[in-house]
Amino acid sequence: MSKQGIINIVFAIGLVVLSVLHFSSSDQNVMVESSDQEEMTPRRERDSSESLKVGYIRTDSLLTKYERHKDLQDMLQGKISKMEREWERKTRLFQENLKVMEEEAPKMSQRELAMAQQELEMKQQELLAFRERKTQEFMREEQELNKQVYEEVYEAINKVQEKLGLDMVFMLEMGGSLVWAHDSFNITNEMVDELNRMHNAKKEKK
What amino acid is encoded at 152 in this protein?
E
Q: Is residue 38 part of a domain?
A: no
Any idea what the CATH number is for the domain that residue 14 is in?
3.30.910.20
SS3 108: coil
pLDDT in tens, 61-114: 898 899 998 899 899 999 999 999 999 999 999 999 889 988 988 888 999 889
Q: Is residue 149 part of a domain?
A: yes
Q: Is residue 32 part of a domain?
A: no
Q: Which domain holds residue 127?
A: 3-21+50-205
* pLDDT for the residue 125: 94
Q: Is residue 43 part of a domain?
A: no
pLDDT in tens, 130-187: 999 999 999 999 999 989 998 999 999 999 999 999 999 998 887 777 878 889 999 9
Q: Is residue 34 part of a domain?
A: no
Q: Is residue 113 part of a domain?
A: yes
pLDDT in tens, 14-69: 554 444 444 444 444 433 343 344 443 333 454 555 688 999 999 888 988 999 98
Closest CA to 10 of 143, 195, 151: 143
